[in-house]
A and B are shown apart, each in its own frame.
Chain A
Amino acid sequence: MSRTIVCDGNEAAAWGVALSRPDMVAVYPITPQSSLAEYISQFVADGIINADLMDVEGEHSVLSVLHGACLAGARTFTASCGQGLAFMFEPYFRTPPLRLPIVMSIVTRDGITPQCVWGGQQDAMTVREVGWVHMYCETAQEIMDTVVMAYRIAEHREVMLPVNVNHDGNYLSYCVEKVEIPDQEEVDDFLGEKNTNWHVALDPDRPMGVDPLTGGAGGPGPALFVRYRKGQCKGMQTALRVITEVHEEWGKRFGRYYAPLVEEYRLDDAEYAIVTIGSMAGAGKDAVDLARESGEKVGLIKIKTFRPFPLKVLRQSLSKVKAIGVVDRSVSFGWNSGPVYQELLSTLYFLDERIPTVSFIGGLAGADITIEHFTRVIETTAVALRGKEFAEPIWLNEND
């Protein structure tokens, strides 16, 4: 029997972990992820999660023990963010090419310096090119559901890649909502057999040399290396299909349908659209509703899956509008814009005609992106639609 509880986003993630029956969870606390680590620890203490709890000495070892366990055959989970993710980077960087289906929540946080412990997506965005699947959630329920789905995606035989389930620090981590917890047996049935190390293992019954030196000028090395890299890219591209299938199946089984890659909101007859990612979409949709009441033909595009980049689906959505305003919760220092914005420019190349764009950066360092902010975003994008160019990004909280 499913049941309904009221909890925050971090607890919802912990329930998702519990439902997924991992063999090992590793924790090291960092704000705003800490309560997620605590929920998981308590769940293990209470027997809700029957897993080895690895309370290790830092994030670097958190992911490293999971590497060892996963190579031995374990289903694993952890969560981190910000500086923790930065410290974890060395094994983090290595997880996708080892093709380890580890699931990790990033409770997104802005980066230091300046010293900052509050939300923002700078951490997850900074590691977007490493090769993990990145999915961003909008609600506590979606967090729980996506954590479970993440295992199906990660452990899919043709994917075999680690998955980050990202939720906004502060806004989702501590936001309390109604969450329905499905029946364990139904989740077991949905997840099926664990599949963690059929391809690479540290097991005396199947001895192999894991990760030999590969490459070097001459000889078979570089070609072998290319094979690994292409395989990884293929796994990522396959993940687009698998993510979609898994979301559909989840909807059928549990009645909750989420747009797997890109969600369109009031887009079909829209002249222009705003693009969002993560929890800000709620305020964005409210602002769109308000603007619609005053006759603006505006819609919203929300990105759930940012890695692999959903080029085809996004191209389809973008082709419906004549201007876009993209709201980022982090900064691309190299491009003087938001990273989502910068990547959307690549997508626009595939459209038949060039359309005006505006980059907005908001919600840094724990700041809220309110309906008022989004109303400004909509108004500014409308100005762009009428022909004005915006060469510089607009910083939403600059004058708050």
Chain B
Amino acid sequence: MGKGYYTIACYPEKCDGCNDCVKACAEFHTGTQQPEHSRIKLTKVEESDAFVITLCHQCGEPRCVMNCPSGALSKDVNTGVVQWDEKRCVNCQLCTLACPYGGITYNSLSDQVMKCDLCAGDAACVKACPRGALELKVGADLFNSWGDLEDLFVPGISACLGCNSELLIRHTLRRVGSNTVVATPPGCIAGVGSVGVNGLTATKAPVFHPLLTNTAAMLAGAKRYYNRIGRDVTMLAFAGDGGAADVGFQSLSGAAERGEQMIYICVDNEGYMNTGVQRSSTTPYGAWTSTTPVGTALRGKTRDAKPLPLLMVMHHCEYVATASLAFMEDFYAKLDKAIEAAKKGMAYIHVFSPCPTGWRFHPSKLIEVARKAVETNMVPLWEYINDEGRVYLTYPVDNPVPVEDYLSLVGKYSHLDEEQIAHTRDTIDKQIKILKSFTGEGPEVVKSEEFAGVSAVKHVSAAASTQQGH
């Protein structure tokens, strides 16, 4: 497998157009600060304060290289930099037409094309930017770290187009590895053939159908026996919200209370998708499902979702986290912690799993839905570390986008009226308030006027309040 390279990431929202990057680039490459020599360009967006940053993306399959008739452009396999060779260049400028990003441009002063070369790995523009709008980074950390590991699911499983679960199981098992017993109770993940059909299996690791009701108990039994005979085997569950929050909750709760060692991933697609989109206890308020239909008398689900991840915190699991696969680095970091925590007790990850089929949105919108839910605070990303007795927001959204931006993406909410949207807004506010009281950062935890000027006391009280969990 290949590898991901360094490139310069741009955050235009941080750019104020100061031009320091442009000057630094010109200076580094020519010794002057003339903007004509700069490989990076800033363009002011008309009638706004925003700027567009233009520079080479160091593409994996560069169009400029493909279009160059003289072999003057090439991709360096060691550094990933798309290099321009002055000696071979015939100055036809086809490359400037081929690049979709404006990353290679004609310099009228030198009468040559020019492009970013990352300054041999020490990009001058990045160092010059005072606002952090530029960052030299590997855009494929996960790929570089885990891309060579084997995908333990075979291709051709029968998941729907745009299935979040398929994305989840491939990434998770690749990371967790094959020294694992995988439980996939009845639901979509079993339904796509993870355990298999008629003697064939889709998983290259020991895998089984528990009952919908007993996933945690069966894994606990197997794990205890492996511990007894001195073998270190990981237990991993991919249970739906039905198998975790509803009919399987007793088994999960019991195993959590006993501190059974496993990674329990709840794949929350907010309903019984595999049986035809019926409601579950994690279906959000107002959502259409086939058992919370929309008609003249009923307008979708009438109750809020059960906050299962918070319930797992109250079980004192070793580790609890929420995740959305639009934030894959966040998920991988949590998976790493879960793998460690599962050596001591239960690690529980609640993965928000939008379902194009059951929620009525186009499969191409999966990641957008998964992202927007987080950006609206519908799905806050957080983790609980039992050793610290504390919750951390891993992607705090202090200025959430309006919840309508999320609801309007998803067909199951298309009928919501103003009152129902207001209820959803309230639920989100309450959810964030509760979470913040767990993090010890919420405004209610310590009223600053009561401790004015006594910061040490403030700190101690905040910690004490956190432990009491409010």
Instruction: Decide if A69 touches B197 in the complex (CB within 8 Å).
Output: no
**A-contact bits for B9-36, CB 8 A (1 contact / 0 none):** 0000000000000000000000000000
Instruction: Decide if B254 touches A57 in the complex (CB within 8 Å).
Output: yes
Q: Which residues of A contact B181 (CB under 8 A)?
A: 72, 202-204
CA distance A74 to B465 in the complex (A): 45
Instruction: Decide if B210 touches A23 in the complex (CB within 8 Å).
Output: no
Instruction: Decide if A90 touches B217 in the complex (CB within 8 Å).
Output: no
Knowing A58-B250, A64-B217, A72-B222, the reply to whether A207 touches B206 (Cβ < 8 A) is yes
Instruction: Select which of A55, A71, A213 is within 8 A of B195 by beta carbon.
Output: A213
B228 adjacent to chain A (CB < 8 Å): yes
A27 adjacent to chain B (CB < 8 Å): no
Closest chain-B Cβ to A213's Cβ sits at a distance in Å of 5
Most buried by A among B193, B197, B201, B233: B197
B425 adjacent to chain A (CB < 8 Å): no
Q: Which residues of A contact B250 (CB under 8 A)?
A: 57-58, 60-61
Knowing A56-B217, A64-B210, A204-B180, the reply to whether A214 touches B198 (Cβ < 8 A) is yes
**B-contact bits for A65-81, CB 8 A (1 contact / 0 none):** 11111111110000000
- What is the total number of residues of chain B having a CB less than 8 Å from a CB of chain A? 45
Instruction: Decide if B218 touches A64 in the complex (CB within 8 Å).
Output: yes
B87-118: which have CB < 8 Å to A? Answer: none
Closest chain-A Cβ to B165's Cβ sits at a distance in Å of 17
Closest chain-A Cβ to B394's Cβ sits at a distance in Å of 31
A49 adjacent to chain B (CB < 8 Å): no
Name the residue of chain B whose CB is nearest to the CB of A76: B221
Instruction: Decide if B198 touches A61 in the complex (CB within 8 Å).
Output: no
Instruction: Decide if A60 touches B213 in the complex (CB within 8 Å).
Output: yes
**B-contact bits for A209-247, CB 8 A (1 contact / 0 none):** 111111110011100100000000000000000000000
Instruction: Select which of B198, B220, B226 is within 8 A of A65 by beta carbon.
Output: B220
Q: Which residues of B contact A66 (CB under 8 A)?
A: 221
Instruction: Decide if B208 touches A202 in the complex (CB within 8 Å).
Output: yes
Closest chain-B Cβ to A127's Cβ sits at a distance in Å of 17
Instruction: Decide if B198 touches A23 in the complex (CB within 8 Å).
Output: no
B224 adjacent to chain A (CB < 8 Å): yes
**B-contact bits for A30-59, CB 8 A (1 contact / 0 none):** 000000000000000000000010111110
Closest chain-B Cβ to A101's Cβ sits at a distance in Å of 14
Closest chain-A Cβ to B197's Cβ sits at a distance in Å of 5
Instruction: Decide if B196 touches A68 in the complex (CB within 8 Å).
Output: no
Name the residue of chain B whose CB is nearest to the CB of A74: B225
Q: Which residues of B contact A281 (CB under 8 A)?
A: none
Instruction: Select which of A55, A56, A220 is within 8 A of B198 by beta carbon.
Output: A220
The SS class assigned to the B binding surface is: mixed
Instruction: Select which of A57, A208, A213, A216 is within 8 A of B257 by beta carbon.
Output: A57
Knowing A90-B213, A209-B196, the reply to whether A71 touches B222 (Cβ < 8 A) is yes
A266 adjacent to chain B (CB < 8 Å): no
Instruction: Decide if A221 touches B229 in the complex (CB within 8 Å).
Output: no
CA distance A348 to B197 in the complex (A): 43
- What is the total number of residues of chain A having a CB less than 8 Å from a CB of chain B? 44
Q: Which residues of B contact A64 (CB under 8 A)?
A: 210-211, 213-214, 217-218, 221, 251
Instruction: Decide if A68 touches B217 in the complex (CB within 8 Å).
Output: yes
Q: Which residues of A contact B233 (CB under 8 A)?
A: 203-204
B207 adjacent to chain A (CB < 8 Å): yes
Instruction: Decide if B198 touches A52 in the complex (CB within 8 Å).
Output: no
B83 adjacent to chain A (CB < 8 Å): no
B453 adjacent to chain A (CB < 8 Å): no
Instruction: Decide if A91 touches B221 in the complex (CB within 8 Å).
Output: no
CA distance A221 to B208 in the complex (A): 18
Q: Which residues of A contact B199 (CB under 8 A)?
A: 212, 214, 220, 224
A201 adjacent to chain B (CB < 8 Å): yes
A94 adjacent to chain B (CB < 8 Å): yes
Instruction: Decide if B217 touches A69 in the complex (CB within 8 Å).
Output: no
Name the residue of chain A whose CB is nearest to the CB of B233: A204
B420 adjacent to chain A (CB < 8 Å): no
Closest chain-B Cβ to A132's Cβ sits at a distance in Å of 17
Closest chain-B Cβ to A350's Cβ sits at a distance in Å of 38
Most buried by A among B195, B208, B223: B208
B205 adjacent to chain A (CB < 8 Å): yes
Instruction: Decide if A212 touches B196 in the complex (CB within 8 Å).
Output: yes
A261 adjacent to chain B (CB < 8 Å): no
**A-contact bits for B249-268, CB 8 A (1 contact / 0 none):** 01101110110000000000
A24 adjacent to chain B (CB < 8 Å): yes
Q: Which residues of B contact A213 (CB under 8 A)?
A: 190, 193, 195-198
B452 adjacent to chain A (CB < 8 Å): no
Closest chain-B Cβ to A37's Cβ sits at a distance in Å of 16
Instruction: Select which of B210, B225, B257 is within 8 A of A69 by beta carbon.
Output: B225
Q: Which residues of A contact B291 (CB under 8 A)?
A: none
B203 adjacent to chain A (CB < 8 Å): yes
Name the residue of chain A whose CB is nearest to the CB of B258: A56
Instruction: Decide if A68 touches B206 in the complex (CB within 8 Å).
Output: no
Knowing A209-B195, A213-B195, the reply to whether A23 touches B225 (Cβ < 8 A) is yes
Q: Which residues of B contact A60 (CB under 8 A)?
A: 213-214, 217, 250-251
B67 adjacent to chain A (CB < 8 Å): no
Instruction: Decide if A208 touches B201 in the complex (CB within 8 Å).
Output: yes
Instruction: Decide if A56 touches B213 in the complex (CB within 8 Å).
Output: no
CA distance A56 to B181 in the complex (A): 21
CA distance A90 to B250 in the complex (A): 14
CA distance A113 to B229 in the complex (A): 44
Q: Which residues of A contact B408 (CB under 8 A)?
A: none
Q: Which residues of A contact B207 (CB under 8 A)?
A: 207, 209-210
Instruction: Decide if A219 touches B224 in the complex (CB within 8 Å).
Output: no
Instruction: Decide if A61 touches B254 in the complex (CB within 8 Å).
Output: yes
Closest chain-B Cβ to A107's Cβ sits at a distance in Å of 22
B204 adjacent to chain A (CB < 8 Å): yes
Closest chain-B Cβ to A27's Cβ sits at a distance in Å of 13
Instruction: Decide if A210 touches B209 in the complex (CB within 8 Å).
Output: yes
Instruction: Select which of A58, A67, A207 is within 8 A of B218 by beta carbon.
Output: A67
B219 adjacent to chain A (CB < 8 Å): yes
Q: Which residues of B contact A55 (CB under 8 A)?
A: 258
Instruction: Decide if A202 touches B211 in the complex (CB within 8 Å).
Output: no
Name the residue of chain A whose CB is nearest to the CB of B200: A212
Closest chain-A Cβ to B332's Cβ sits at a distance in Å of 22
Knowing A73-B229, A210-B206, the reply to whether A58 touches B201 (Cβ < 8 A) is no
CA distance A220 to B198 in the complex (A): 7
CA distance A206 to B196 in the complex (A): 16
Instruction: Select which of A52, A57, A202 is within 8 A of B224 by beta carbon.
Output: A52
Q: Which residues of A contact B290 (CB under 8 A)?
A: none
Name the residue of chain A whose CB is nearest to the CB of B201: A209
CA distance A55 to B259 in the complex (A): 12
CA distance A68 to B203 in the complex (A): 18
Name the residue of chain B whose CB is nearest to the CB of A196: B225
Q: Which residues of A contact B204 (CB under 8 A)?
A: 207
CA distance A224 to B199 in the complex (A): 8
Q: Which residues of A contact B364 (CB under 8 A)?
A: none
**B-contact bits for A150-179, CB 8 A (1 contact / 0 none):** 000000000000000000000000000000
A-B contact pairs, 10 of them (CB 8 A): A24-B225, A60-B250, A204-B179, A208-B201, A211-B195, A212-B201, A213-B196, A214-B197, A219-B198, A220-B198
Other 8 A-B pairs with CB < 8 A, given A212-B195, A216-B197? A58-B254, A61-B254, A64-B221, A68-B223, A68-B225, A72-B222, A203-B181, A219-B198
5 closest residue pairs by CB, A with B: A68-B221, A209-B201, A57-B254, A212-B196, A65-B221
